[in-house]
Amino acid sequence: MSWTWLAALVPFFSAIVGAAVGGLVVHRTALARDARNEQRARRVEHLISAYQRLSAASNREGNLNPEQAADLEAALSEVMLLGQRTEIGAARAFMVTFATEGGAELDPLLIALRSSLREELGLDPTPLPKPYSIRLLL
């Protein structure tokens, strides 16, 4: 009995197994990449929202209204949850100073957030200008 026909099938089966394994590896890699991109997009979205709320609460004379205070608390919570080390450190420093002195500057936290977000989004590292916000009295 000749086994030459079986030897002729080995490259065929090898190609099928290789294609199946390769397809599986590519599929799993794509799923992992998509999950990382989704996680990154959600993190950036939340931190941009936190930045906007922190900016809205900054440079105000007098006390914040209840809505602004709630926004400030929520923004600080998001930074503590999703921020990087420098952002979390700046948020903590703000909270400690605010708790002990009754007020604190948000500029270091805003600068840290802005710098991190610009880097994450692939934007140039343009420094935050002063003044960076305007308060309109209507």
54-101: per-residue pLDDT in tens? 988 887 777 788 898 899 999 999 999 999 999 999 999 999 999 999
Work out the number of other CB atoms within 10 angstroms of the CB of residue 40.
11
Domain ranges of the chain: 9-120
Q: Does pLDDT of 2 surpass 70?
A: no
Within 8 A by CB and 6+ apart from 112, the residues are 86, 87, 89, 90
Q: Does pLDDT of 45 surpass 60?
A: yes
- pLDDT for the residue numbered 73: 94
pTM here is: 0.74
The arithmetic mean of pLDDT across residues 126-132, rounded, is 76
Within 8 A by CB and 6+ apart from 124, the residues are 118
Q: What is the DSSP letter of 65?
A: P
Tell me the C-alpha distance between 4 and 129, whole Å.
78
Tell me the C-alpha distance between 27 and 49, whole Å.
33
- For 81, the 3-state DSSP assignment is helix
Tell me the C-alpha distance between 59 and 61, whole Å.
7
pLDDT band at 1 (very low <50, low <70, confident <90, very high): low
Which residue's entry shows tokens 């305007």?
134
Of 127, 119, 123, nearest to 40 by C-alpha is 119
Of 65, 58, 30, 32, nearest to 114 by C-alpha is 58
- pLDDT for the residue numbered 137: 63
